[in-house]
Structure 1
């Protein structure tokens, strides 16, 4: 009994291996660019006693042909949502290098007069943030990239009302002119908007005159606004005993009122004595 030995030449075997390899291999594919948020930041553009303007800046990577259509966001202060909104962007994507997008929003960051007083008393900083989604469109597909970036700012501080200067000019035994300069001290690194400063002056317990100053005015950052008040102490304004009062050479006085502005009410009460000068 004989058997037939079948052999395959080396050339045939190599061709078969090559054919097998070529059949299993796939053509190399170009890696696709994933949509991603490469960088993000919140910038404080401006700050006031009760509101602030924030700008969100980001760099977004994504496939060419995609567009960052809009931002859907919340402005948050100390964990509380103060405002919601949407901003149209329309920024085309440019691949892995990324494209810059930004939008800006202004909103109140305190919730009312009580909140403002609380923040002023506690001091420190308050955390402001913009958070939400960047909406990216690729053809008919929409993708949302979450974002959140915050910035700590110094808490707003209530102003104080002080007597900057006071003198009493004695024109006669029965007439004194009080020259009072009320100061509004702004301790904040931004201008302070005012609605008005009411005042009422009393001398030796008797009310003499009243009025309103600084209406729709403002005080510069870290500065003091000074407002003059003039009051006459005479028989007509104070009473028939004014001569005896003036003869003492010293007048006790009191000034009361309220400083108001956006979400701000600051009552004040100041008192003291003024030494009388002789007017020439």
Structure 2
């Protein structure tokens, strides 16, 4: 074999090895997977008798740089969708680094007065949830991630009107001052806003006093709001037979009315006897 042929074969072998070596050292691109929702939670920030503020907190992890653009969601209460919306997030994330995000929604979770009455009688808890999809963009790629998280809260309960205290002071054989303190009991673990408390007071079946109190007031959580009412029993207010009435030492009374607030109007009727004390 000639030296020329040997040189040609050697050159071809070197060229082949170089080509193979170049192919082996070229970077291999692997397709990145879609981002994932790696944590989520729903919390009730605040609650009222008809509405609640709910916060959704989550965590997204991706294998490439991207941005969590928005959340398209539904607020669900007691199995019913009560509100839909979209929250702009604009949260960036790096490959392999979890990105935290959150958004809040406030909405009524009671459909109306009848629904509130039903829930109050039902007792127990009601499930509030946020669910929907997260929109994530990585370069030219857009992914949607479904999410859903719920929280159980105590059902709202209607207030109860009670006689907090009652006494009668006898100033003379023909004059008595009744001091009535009406109580609005809030059985809820959150403050209760009132619009008004009306009352009509009668003594021995004769109407003597009526009015409205508690306008735009708030009763603290698991507390009782107290509203004083004064009633004068005299010959002018009750009639000429007041002396005989007072001489019995106790006056039969009744009070009725209603307490009003957001989506509720609760009537009440109370009665009893007022024992009379001698005023000094």
TM-score for both structures, normalised by structure 1: 0.89
Distance of 1:40 and 1:94 partners within structure 2: 19
Structure 1 equivalent of residue 84 of structure 2 = 84
In the alignment, structure 1 residue 94 sits paired with structure 2 residue 94: yes
Contact 1:192 1:220 in 2 (8 A): yes
Structure 1 equivalent of residue 239 of structure 2 = 239
Contact 1:33 1:61 in 2 (8 A): no
Structure 1 equivalent of residue 164 of structure 2 = 164
Contact 1:33 1:96 in 2 (8 A): no
- What whole-Å deviation, never above 9, does each CA across 1:71-94 have from its counterpart, x for those lacking one? 111111011111111111100122
TM-score for both structures, normalised by structure 2: 0.89
In the alignment, structure 1 residue 69 sits paired with structure 2 residue 69: yes
Aligned 1:208-247 pairs, distance under 5 A: 208-247=208-247
**Which sections of structure 2, spanning at least 5 residues, go unmatched?**
1-13
Indicate the RMSD between aligned Cα atoms, in angstroms: 2.3
Contact 1:186 1:223 in 2 (8 A): yes
Structure 2 equivalent of residue 193 of structure 1 = 193
- Cα displacement (A) at 1:30: 4.6
Structure 2 equivalent of residue 202 of structure 1 = 202
Distance of 2:113 and 2:239 partners within structure 1: 40
Runs of 4+ in 1 over 6 A off after TM superposition: 21-26
Contact 1:33 1:95 in 2 (8 A): no
The verdict on how the C-alpha distance between 1:140 and 1:23 changes in structure 2, with shifts beyond 3 A counting, is: closer
Structure 1 equivalent of residue 8 of structure 2 = none
Structure 2 equivalent of residue 8 of structure 1 = none
Distance of 2:67 and 2:29 partners within structure 1: 24
Structure 1 equivalent of residue 278 of structure 2 = 278
- Cα displacement (A) at 1:33: 4.3
**Which sections of structure 1, spanning at least 5 residues, go unmatched?**
1-14
